[in-house]
Amino acid sequence: MSSNSKRLAEGGRIDRGRPLEFSFDGSKLTGFQGDTLASALLANGISLIGRSFKYHRPRGIFSAGDEEPNALVTLGAGGRREPNLPATMLELADGMVAESQNRWPSLAFDVQSLNSLFAPFLSAGFYYKTFMGPTRRAWMFYEHFIRRAAGLGKAGLEADPDRYEVRHAFADVAIVGGGPAGLSAARAAANAGARVALIEQDFQVGGQLLSERPGSEAATWLQGVETELRDFGNVDLMGRTTAVGLYDGKVLGLVERRDDAQAAGQARQAFTILRAGAIVFASGAIERPLVFSNNDRPGVMLASAARTYVNRFAVLPGRKAVVATTDDGAWRAAFDLAVAGARVTVADLRTTVPPALQAEASRLGIAVHAGTHIADLRGSRAVKAARLAGAGAETEVDCDLVCVSGGWSPTVHLTSQLGVKPVYREDIDGFVPGLFAAGQFGAGSVVGGYTTAEAIETGHRAGIEAAASCGKTKPVPAAVQFQSAELPAAAFRNVPPARGKAFVDIQMDVTTGDIALAHREGYESVEHLKRYTTLGMGTDQGKTSNFPALSAMAALRGKTIPETGTTTFRPPYTPVAIGALAGRAVGHHFKPTRRTPMHDWHVANGADMLEVGLWMRPYFYRGAGRDVKEAYVAEMRFVREAAGLMDISTLGKIDIQGPDAATLLDRVYANGFAKLPVGRARYGVMLRDDGIVFDDGTTTRLGEDRFFMTTSTAKAADVMSRLEFLLDTAWPDLRVAVTSVTDEWAAMSVAGPRSRRVLAAAFPALDLSNEALPHMGFIEGEFDGRALRIIRLSYSGERAYEVYVGASAGEAAWRRLVGVGERLGLKPYGVEALGALRVEKGHVAGPEIDGRTTLDDLGLGRMAGKRSGFVGDVLRRRPALSDPNRQRLVGLKCLEAGTRLSGGAILFKQDETRQGHGRGRITSVTYSPTLGAYVGLALLAGDVAMGDEVVAVHMMKNEAVRAHVVSPVFLDPEGERLHG
């Protein structure tokens, strides 16, 4: 077939001076600016585009819009490879690379087309039935094949090089749809003074008017209104943008697409969250197909689509056409095809055809068969002939194009997404939106106004009302009408039943037989029908199949269409790329990356950084070892033997002030804080309402009415949120303010036997003696004119101090400590060493405070004592939480030299069968250079005594290690090191 062999010599809305090269399945082809991929393929004589989902039957282009069920292609290559895109919605771009899908080894010869031979075994619900037999484990055999056959196109595995964005936009009036109704509404609302956003998924506005013949009054009207709107300063014409979702508060989710040329330097796709004062729905209607035998063959398309290809794209999709219709509207397609040079036959189901149509058909040489329908089609990869049945006789007509029209279905998807059910109208045999919410309006075909005059008038009225609801009431000029040659859509509803394999859902290969089978097997609800047969579950979401399907089910049940109802419409209206939803929030931008004030120093000095929540923290320092296993042990040693410096800026920091500050702390902590002296700190534990440990940390009393709270890194935001929630809801009478100051303070811990000497050298003006700064004591000072806080507390078991200074001075203070501490053996250490040090000392952390443990489980029950009145106090006393056999915190030490424990291992007693959940689990493990062995913390059932032997079993590693149950405090149980 020669290039553009089906392109008309003149006409259309394409730019013949701008040819574009593209490829399909490796073949080089040409089209023009203004083409879609579908129109360019048709112009090049390509009718076979893809294969169907289940039977792999040949399929061609069926529509000209987003309702396309057949012509799905994979676009691009490498990281830009995107599958399952309707060719009808792809604006042709120079260099576009597309390929067919769901076929092997080629589109022309697809081995899986043999599935048609097994159609009796692949009927409705066959995948469910594979669970049932013929043997109990039949599914295990079938599963592999069903999963391999699932899906259509395949996405690329490489990283997508393109950029995506999420945006926020605002408008007084948002109008969904750029057809005559939407354009008229936009003109009216803009004249009234409203800020207008006109949303149109096509790359040209106009809707159905784009399918009118060039030079017509419709084309002149469209050009005039579009020019007028572009001259307005308060109208945003959002082309190539689909409204995919409607949400509470008049919020629309929009997806904007760009081709290669338009995307240069811009986001490939953008997801816009549009908040509007009012919304006008002018989303139009979708033409319905007819159901007859072999109605899925390439060459069968909607009558409105044929008009679009002829008049908008100057493509004659067939030279011998049969137009099968139930209404007047499709006759316009027949007339336009005849004018373009096709030989046309009309098969109208109605026995009486209006004389005006007969006269025009006679003038154009169109053969008319009244009271006639298509019984069957002949042809495999393309239509070759249609068998027409009527008046008790059948006639075969040669053809290469079959245009079908079974009426129209208003596009009620968006208007139904918030749960408002559509309402059936007998006069149009279709569903229209239910009651509009306040600030929402409808216009045009979506509310049943099928003529252009109605669309313009209802759009004009809706635009004025929408603007007025936003307080915009400037005078609006009258709507501009024009004379249209369109015909009313008087549908004939009694469609004869189909014979043979007649498809209702063309994409998912659902036939009339499948619907009948579902009915016989009891699936009568349309929701059940959808899921049992997969009807409407493809990428097109059943836009052309839903109404024929529910009509068929209604007939089988002997009920009316409104009694049968519709399925539930949910977002998105059309498929949305995950990239558009994610925007720039991918990789390291998925969540904000937080860096401490000393981050650059860490990186420059060999730190291997680790993501801890949102924070980047030093994992270990390369100078201490070649890898983490070597480095963390070395870092532990110099903390135990000399001094170590740790960046703890990531701790949550909350300033608490007010006369009732102490009362608040007494209520949120299990242990009391009201009697804490000024200048002292205390370790505290918070509980959830159910008595389970929530978080731990320290709080320092800076003054009578002021406290400085620190939380764990992981729970900083949660603790802050909880305090605010309690103050807002449970205790609004408390006179206290809480403020997160995490980012205001840089913090570092100096730990080890020489830590005091390091601090004394760094801050000589401060008295750091035991008398002036005992364990859990606090002093204030200055560093380079900035506030300095030092709290003496330990997480490692050594004498240790937490140093706080303003974030802007953090790196300077760090460098001061490193500089003066070097001669004393001070070195920085990372979070791996920090975790190992706390395990040696028996301090609990996240692995133990895992949302399941209580104070008693962690050995902290004495902190609460007999106190009451704090959050979680009542429910912590439940008998189940006091069971003596509950798992509680213990230490584990390997019995045999050279063995090691593994985190997550399950614990069993020596003589137990090693199955199930055992007696407990290991939560934290480290190698202890002080003890020369692996040690761990574990949660172990209370009936296993100290000194007993257990076996730590790690199923995944096929590992069993013997260990003794010991105290969780492995190092310095008397606290001599930290108090020294």
| Domain edge (last residue) among 106, 126, 156 | 156
Strand partners, 85: 73
What pLDDT does 262 receive? 55
Distance CA 254, CA 272 (A): 5
Please report, for the domain that includes residue 8, its CATH number: 3.10.20.440
pLDDT band (50, 70, 90) for residue 490? very low
Please report, for the domain that includes residue 815, its CATH number: 3.30.1360.120
Distance CA 76, CA 94 (A): 12
Closest Cα partner for 803 from 597, 617, 594? 597
Kind plus residue range of the DSSP H or E element containing 435:
none
Number of domains in the chain: 6
Find which of 146-150, 733-737, 910-914 is predicted with most confidence, using mean pLDDT. Answer: 733-737
Instruction: List C-alpha distances in Å: 719 to 690, 716, 781.
Output: 16, 5, 28
Checking if the pLDDT of 766 tops 90, the result is yes
pLDDT band (50, 70, 90) for residue 25? very high
- Burial class from Cβ neighbours inside 10 Å (0-12, 13-18, 19+) for residue 739 reads exposed
Whether residues 109 and 176 fall in one domain: no
User: Packing angle between helix 628-641 and helix 831-841, nearest 10 degrees?
Assistant: 60
Whether residues 321 and 281 fall in one domain: no
| Torsion angle of the four alpha carbons 556, 562, 563, 567, in this order, in degrees rounded to the nearest 10 | 80
Instruction: List C-alpha distances in Å: 589 to 257, 580, 582.
Output: 22, 14, 10
Whether residues 202 and 270 fall in one domain: yes
Answer whether the bond into residue 83 is a cis peptide, omega within 30°: no
- Stretch among 131-135, 307-311, 690-694, 763-767 having the lowest mean pLDDT: 131-135
Q: Per this entry, what is the length of the chain?
A: 980
Distance CA 56, CA 4 (A): 28
Closest Cα partner for 653 from 592, 593, 723? 723
- Stretch among 68-72, 449-453, 638-642, 855-859 having the lowest mean pLDDT: 449-453
What pLDDT does 419 receive? 87
Whether residues 523 and 557 fall in one domain: yes
- Please give the share of the chain, as a percent, with pLDDT higher than 70: 96
Average pLDDT over residues 416-429: 91
Residue 337 lies in a domain: yes
Checking if the pLDDT of 493 tops 70, the result is no
Could you read off the pLDDT of 193-225 as tens digits, one per residue?
A: 999 999 999 999 999 999 998 888 999 999 999
What pLDDT does 494 receive? 55
Largest CA distance in the chain: 113
| Domain edge (last residue) among 156, 182, 216 | 156
Report the SS3 class of residue 922: strand
Residue 238 lies in a domain: yes
Checking if the pLDDT of 500 tops 90, the result is no
SS3 content of the chain, % helix, strand, coil (to 5): 25, 30, 45
Residue 505: other Cβ atoms inside 10 A:
28
Please report, for the domain that includes residue 204, its CATH number: 3.50.50.60
Spatial contact of 195 and 172, defined as CB atoms under 8 Å apart: yes
Distance CA 499, CA 376 (A): 8
Domain holding 257, by residue range, is: 164-286+410-469
Closest Cα partner for 803 from 766, 847, 830, 855? 766
Could you read off the pLDDT of 563-599 as tens digits, one per residue?
A: 888 888 999 999 999 999 999 888 878 888 899 999 9
Checking if the pLDDT of 498 tops 70, the result is no
- Stretch among 412-416, 550-554, 750-754, 817-821 having the lowest mean pLDDT: 550-554
Residue 91: other Cβ atoms inside 10 A:
20
Read off the pTM. Answer: 0.80
Whether residues 675 and 821 fall in one domain: yes
Could you read off the pLDDT of 864-874 as tens digits, one per residue?
A: 988 999 999 99
Q: Average pLDDT over the chain, rounded to whole?
A: 92
Checking if the pLDDT of 553 tops 60, the result is yes
Whether residues 273 and 304 fall in one domain: no
The DSSP bridge pattern shows strands 401-405 and 408-410 to be unpaired
Checking if the pLDDT of 1 tops 50, the result is no
Whether residues 416 and 398 fall in one domain: no
What pLDDT does 157 receive? 86
Whether residues 456 and 546 fall in one domain: no
- Please give the share of the chain, as a percent, with pLDDT higher than 90: 75
Distance CA 381, CA 430 (A): 33
Whether residues 201 and 324 fall in one domain: no
What pLDDT does 3 receive? 78
Residue 871 lies in a domain: no
Kind plus residue range of the DSSP H or E element containing 812:
helix 810-821
Instruction: List C-alpha distances in Å: 777 to 164, 757, 774.
Output: 52, 17, 5
Whether residues 687 and 812 fall in one domain: yes
Distance CA 271, CA 582 (A): 9
Between the two ends of the chain, the Cα-to-Cα distance in Å is 93
Whether residues 684 and 828 fall in one domain: yes
What pLDDT does 531 receive? 86
What pLDDT does 261 receive? 47
The DSSP bridge pattern shows strands 959-966 and 887-894 to be antiparallel
Q: 516 vs 490, which has greater pLDDT?
A: 516
Residue 18: other Cβ atoms inside 10 A:
11
Residue 889 lies in a domain: yes
Residue 616 lies in a domain: no
**Alpha-carbon 123 to chain mean position:** 32
Q: Let me know how many helices (H) and strands (E) the chain has, helices first.
A: 25, 48
Please report, for the domain that includes residue 506, its CATH number: 1.10.10.1100
Checking if the pLDDT of 370 tops 80, the result is yes
pLDDT band (50, 70, 90) for residue 712? very high
Residue 758 lies in a domain: yes
Whether residues 392 and 442 fall in one domain: no
Distance CA 232, CA 236 (A): 9
| DSSP string across 227-255 | HHHHH-TTEEEETTEEEEEEETTTEEEEE
Distance CA 551, CA 559 (A): 9
Residue 818 lies in a domain: yes
| Domain edge (last residue) among 453, 469, 485 | 469
Please report, for the domain that includes residue 962, its CATH number: 2.40.30.110
Residue 269 lies in a domain: yes
